[in-house]
Structure 1
Amino acid sequence: MCGINGIFAWHDDAPAVDRAELVRTRDRMAARGPDGTGEWLSPDGRIGFGHRRLAIIDLSDAGLQPMASTDGRLTLVFNGEIYNYRALRAELEAKGVRFASESDSEVILQLYAREGAAMISRLRGMFAIAIWNAETREMLFARDSMGIKPLYWHDDGGTIRFASQVKALVAGGAIRGGIEPAALTGFYLWGSVPEPWTIREGVFALPAGHMMRVSASGVDAPKRYHSVASAWRNAERSGETVGDEAIAAALADSVAHHLVADVPVGCFLSAGVDSGALLGLMRDAGAQDVQTVTLGFDEFQGRHDDEVSLAAQVARHYGMPHTVRTVGEAEFQEDLPKILDAMDQPSIDGVNSWFVSKAARELGIKVAVSGLGGDEQFGGYPSFRDLPAWTRRFGVARPFGAIARTLLTGIGTQRLGLNPKAAGMLEYGGSWAGAYLLRRGIFMPWELEAMMDRDLLRAGLARLGPDFGVGTAFDVTPDSDFGKVAAMEASLYMRNQLLRDTDWASMAHGLEVRVPLVDAVLLDRVGPAMVGPNAEAGKGALARAPKRPLPDVIVNRPKTGFGTPVGSWARKMIAGSTAPPLVSGAKTPWARRWAFHVASQQAWSGQDAAPRVAA
């Protein structure tokens, strides 16, 4: 786990690599890799790689990057972990391959030397990879199938630059341009920047489950090798009946793979099913003395969303050491500048991940398991119930939706005491993309003229498209309602917000977070239980998966999410500000207040990146 970056002057007329720029970009990611640094320049000065190391597998110098093959033909930089690297290594050794290290990085190199780009689909884990092939004069980029690890790139028509963070690319000093309209518009709509856009114009995310080639001919379009939507449709059409025993075996297999490390692995523990079940499965896999960490807040004491006592009960249930880290408003205010600096792109979330990661590092934990992904895999969100109901109920009313919305917004949803989204229910509720926007959206499209410059907004909406970016979730469309919602939640909310926020917030503390419930192999094995014949599985199957099942008090507890009192803290922060009425009223949802505060910061591009509020 680490931070990677590089420069490839692919066009003959492009200048050679500027080593100082390479180092500036690399060292903007210092927190991602506190255990070491590395850099490599090709003999002709046309390619440069940088690396910041967080040593998890093979802690020796043999695991240092950038890493070259023994014949010097291939050079690699890699961020992430390959959980099946031992099996792949054994397979290669059986064919006569010799290894100089115990690292998963070398396994990638050796596998690529024999199979080329086709080897990417064999890697089980989280990764962002760049491999230079000196023989073919070609660069290969690849990102893991679920989008756990980020990879950002910028091409100026002659040179491509890449890094693990957008801000690191900007810190290099060679990227021009300002705010990307689709990114800012998407942030106000969704609370996060939708891929493949980033907040910086001209910088793109390599989509999850894609690879991309660069050569003297230029930058090829990213090519898909895995699709979450296709995985759900395959599960629907598999004809398999998957019961509790098979689900438990698949979960145990994923957890066992995610424990591969040369350092101890801890666990983020809430009072929910996801993290509790994972702790039980870690115990089943042989993990002992797993340090668990729970956040506590004075504001939550005595309320149903206080997770402290129940999380401690789960830790005792599995015989694991437990620590409660209490966070208050004063610490939030003190850390806020650091949070916004670490936040690679604007997001309304991530504060919780920041503090639990901070707590873990205070305990000396270097790797922690998170229950992220359980709701997307097992249908835990209200969207699995609401979206099918809305699309059926409002589909016939869509032709009248725009009129209804105009009337409602004209007389003011505030005066009627309605949620701002209510005005758009008839217009948007009848389509899957529109219903998802109503479920997950922060601001509605017709509200944004009060938030943004009109030209910026017009360009942003045009680039997002009529479905506001939802279509990126579907290269194919699953047959079932469950499959459609699961594909959207995993490809949009989970990928654009939860995984991205977990990455920047944890890496800011030099912590690796692993997510066993976000695993392509697990999805293939468990998917039929959710959408196949006689599908009945849900969170109950997850709770029953450990040999010692979760106690009923956890299973039957109402869902609260992994939250913080940031809503009340944000209200105080926004009070008295010059925010427009949409975010300054006493009854304004906290997420709107927080979104405006985050977007108003100027740290996203190194220049004035604040949204231009219309007069």
Structure 2
Amino acid sequence: MCGISGILNLKEKAPISPDQLRVMSFALKHRGPDEAGAYLDDYIGLAQSRLSIIDLSGGSQPIHNEDKSLWIIFNGEIFNYPELREELIKLGHKFYTHTDTEVILHLYEEKNEECLFYLNGQFAFAIWNSKKKELFLARDRTGILPLFFRLESDKFYFASELKAIFSIKNENPNFDPIGFEQIFTFWTNLPGDTPFKDYKEIPPAHFLKINFDGKFILKPYWQLQFKKENEIKDFPISEITDRASELLTDAVRIRLRADVPVGSYLSGGLDSSGLTTIVKKKFNNELRTFGISFEEESFDESSFQKLMVKSSSDKSFRSLC
């Protein structure tokens, strides 16, 4: 988990205040305690608070392409980045880091917004094209990583959390009655909305483009497809379970790619217990698990966490529950 933020001037060429970027970055420090980085020119300011997972020493952000015409800040992880990197090298792209962040940048350079079709991961990122004076932002298919924005007549603000934008606005945000009602109806806002007036969120599976002249595009790039009843094939249960097991195992495998130890949150439920078991049995017998207990008995699942750990015959399956 990292934090990204930025400010784009609209219609007027003027340097972004480094102090404002610093304040926004500090507001997201809890998301990225390892280091902070920034890029500024006469149109835009980009800031990133980094939690180092891949290429610990060489992956400082923002990251640029060969001629420094493109700059990226990124929150998340691209699980298929080694395969994508190999293909991009074959196409002639030059890398100066070993990060998944730089892979996104070169893929965008090659495919433009169609790069999103190739990314297997959880992400929110911003790419600045200094030649076109164009900012491109995108969010993963199911919206795992957040990305908020505010569009004004002369500026565009964005950040991983609203508090980063609030921190440089000399005003208290006003509640949006519709967005506020959604919280109490659905426990969360509908895609694109927030509880605050004039503050929006990029919906899952969407990208946003905005130019220096204020041209604005917010567009979906993917949606879940459901087959019609007459298109559904009747497969044996054994085939369905085998295929589901293969997909789960592969999904777990690529999520273990990291230059730091990987842990597992063990809630006590079926999903986390099943995924933790896959990691331990097939990939990593030194896995550390973590869990949370609650004083309120109806919410507490610590007994199931302990049962899960105890059921393992391998003593190296350690728990810090």
Is TM (by shorter chain) over 0.5? yes
Counterparts of 2:22 and 2:126 in 1: how far apart (Å)? 17
| Structure 2 unaligned regions, length at least 5 | none
TM-score (ref. length: structure 1): 0.49
Displacement after TM superposition at 1:304 (Å): 8.2
SS at match of 2:153: coil
> Which of the numbers 105, 119, 122 marks the counterpart of 1:109?
105
Q: One-letter code of the match for 1:80?
A: G
- Residue 122 (structure 1) aligns with: 118
Measured in 1, the distance between the counterparts of 2:247 and 2:269 equals: 20
Do residues 92 (structure 1) and 88 (structure 2) align? Answer: yes
Query: For residue 7 of structure 1, what is the aligned residue in structure 2?
Result: 7
Q: Say whether 1:220 aligns with 2:216.
A: yes
Change (3 A) 1:216 1:317: same
The 2-side partners of 1:304 and 1:143 are apart by: 32
What are the Cα deviations for residues 7-63 of structure 1, in whole angstroms up to 9, with x where unaligned?
A: 111223x75422221211111011111100111101xx2100001010001101x21
Match of 1:277 in 2: 274
Q: One-letter code of the match for 2:18?
A: R
- Counterpart residue number, 2:261: 264
How big is the shift at 1:79? 0.5
Counterpart of 1:24 in structure 2 is 23
Considering fraction of residues, name the structure with more strand.
2
Q: Distance in 2 between matches of 1:317 and 1:24?
A: 48
Identity %: 30
**Change in 2 beyond 3 A, CA 1:305/1:63:** closer
Q: Distance in 1 between the 2:177 and 2:81 partners?
A: 41
Alpha-carbon distance between aligned partners in 1 of 2:168 and 2:230, rounded to the nearest angstrom: 46
Match of 2:44 among 44, 47, 56: 47
Residue by residue over 1:299-334, the C-alpha shift from the partner in whole angstroms, topping out at 9 and shown as x without a partner, is: 539x9884343232345468510122xxxxxxxxxx
1:300-315 pair list within 5 angstroms: 300=297, 306-315=303-312
Are 1:254 and 2:256 matched, yes or no? Answer: no
Contact 2:133-2:212 within 8 A present in 1 as well: yes
Write the letter of the residue equivalent to 1:59: L
- Of structures 1 and 2, the larger Rg is shown by 1
Q: Where do 4+ consecutive residues of structure 1 move more than 4 Å? A: 174-177, 314-319
If asked which structure has higher relative contact order (CA below 8 Å, sep 6+), I would say 1
Structural mapping, 1:480-491, within 5 Å: none
Q: 3-state SS of the aligned residue for 2:193? A: coil
Deviation at 1:247, TM superposition (A): 1.0
Distance in 2 separating the partners of 1:264 and 1:304: 25
Q: 1:166/1:234 Cα in 2 relative to 1: closer, same or farther (>3 Å)?
A: farther
Q: 1:305 to 1:286 in 2, by over 3 A?
A: closer
Give the Å deviation of 1:5: 0.3
TM-score, length basis structure 2: 0.91
How many residue pairs get matched? 317
Q: Is the 8 A contact 2:209 2:216 kept in 1?
A: yes
Q: CA deviation at 1:292?
A: 1.0
Alpha-carbon distance between aligned partners in 1 of 2:49 and 2:192, rounded to the nearest angstrom? 24
**How big is each residue's C-alpha offset from its partner over 1:76-110, in whole Å with a ceiling of 9 and x where there is no partner?**
11110000000100111222323111101111111
What runs of 5+ residues in structure 1 fail to find an aligned partner? Answer: 325-615
Alignment deviations for residues 469-499 of structure 1 (CA, whole Å, 9 cap, x no partner): xxxxxxxxxxxxxxxxxxxxxxxxxxxxxxx
Note the C-alpha offset of 1:287: 1.4
What is the CA–CA distance in structure 2 between the aligned matches of 1:312 and 1:104, rounded to whole Å? 33
Match of 2:241 among 225, 244, 248: 244
